[in-house]
Amino acid sequence: MVATLIVNILAVFFAWLARFQKSKYGGLEVAFILLTVFMSIRYNFGNDYKSYLELFLRMGSFSSFDFTSESTEIGWYFLNYIFQPIGFFGMVIVLTVFEYAVIYRLIKKYVPKEWYWLSVFIFTINTGYMLVFGSMMRQFLAMCIFIITIDFIVKKRWISSILLVLLASLFHTSALFLLPFCFFGYLGISLTKKKALIWFGVYLSLYFMAVELLGDYFFKLVELEQFEKYQYYIGGEKGAKGTGLGVVFSMIMYMFLLLHQKYQSKDMKIIFMLFAISVFFYLFADIAPLTSRLGYYFSVLSIVCYPLMFKMIKNKIWRYTLLAGYIIITFKSFNDFFDPSGIWYDSFYTYQTIFSANTWM
């Protein structure tokens, strides 16, 4: 935990320094080099790390590997095969460099340099992103491909978008849900104040009633043959929705995001709406946790949407109150993530590097 926190804070600090740079490159680049190295050389770091390593070691080659005994996507099989010569550690390094280059490019392209620090803060301190992504290797790769797809979605290049989404689905089948969003750029949604409040009202209503109204449909959807491998994500209990301070604050942030969508550029309006959709996937997590996995594809866009939202809030009292609240709650969530009684503690508390392994694997 300590090593992770130190690296993350250093990355945020370097990103903050970017506001003083006069050249094109500087603080953000240093921040992402640091983060990329940190996550590239991780070892046994993350709940799923061991299972990915074991699959890689078992595989060896297509000729001697029994595919019928495994349950994963063909794209991941292929990556495991082509990276056999350089080992699992080599594969993780290459994939991390690619994935962090995609996240870096997203921030660099859309976020003003005075707000780089907040983008990096969200990506690193919000444990639902950098840390969890380091564990869910297949889906993070699929997510990064989808982030690249967004460039084509906003340009209404639907054929390229579909091809990239199909590519992403080779690594995580859940990406097939993204196919309808390949046409999202044609909608041209711009939320007036009235439309934003209606949207928020719909979300608020569904927040409390979604499971009762649509739960059965989601059970049928996730039971499709294509998603059979994810059946273990489905639970039968309908847990109560949270109504604590953190939830209320998140809803306020969401309302502000909707209200400030209309002030964004044409491309960013589309990205804001993609992010706005993410919350709806989490509504059904009580009965089918797989749906929260779908939300990740869109929620990661908060690393560009929230900084641009704060930038557009004209009332400084609201801006700094919300910003301070978000930072405090995010740090609290970071601390809770490392609770000894939590599911993440054993896999994430102690950071290890590949140099602590007995051999190169």
pLDDT (tens digit per residue) in 317-356: 999 999 999 999 999 989 888 888 888 888 888 899 999 8
Whole-model pTM: value is 0.88
* Residue at 251 is within a domain: yes
**Is the pLDDT reported for residue 232 higher than 50?**
no
**Residue 10 is assigned to a structural domain of this protein:** no
pLDDT in tens, 283-313: 766 655 666 778 899 999 999 999 999 999 9
- Segment among 3-12, 94-103, 122-131, 288-297 with least mean pLDDT: 288-297
Burial call 301-321: b when 16+ CB within 10 Å, e when fewer: bbbbbbbbbbbebeeeeebee
Residue 318 lies in a domain: no
Sign of the Cα pseudo-torsion (245, 249, 254, 256, in order): positive
Burial 20-40 (b: 16+ CB within 10 A, else e): eeeeeebbbbbbbebbbbbbb
Does residue 250 register a pLDDT over 50? yes
CB 139 within 8 A of CB 76: no
- Domain range for residue 198? 188-312
Q: Is residue 234 in some structural domain? A: yes
Distance CA 32, CA 42 (A): 15
CB atoms inside a 10 Å sphere around CB 71 = 9
The count of structural domains within the chain is 1
Distance, in Å, from the CA atom of 147 to the CA atom of 354, rounded to the nearest integer, reads 28
Domain membership flag for residue 223: yes
C-beta of residue 165 within 8 angstroms of C-beta of residue 182: yes
Quick check: 168 pLDDT over 80?
yes
> What is the sign, positive or negative, of the torsion defined by CA atoms of 241, 253, 296, 328?
negative
- Which tokens hold the place of 340? 């000894």
Identify whether 109 is part of a domain.
no
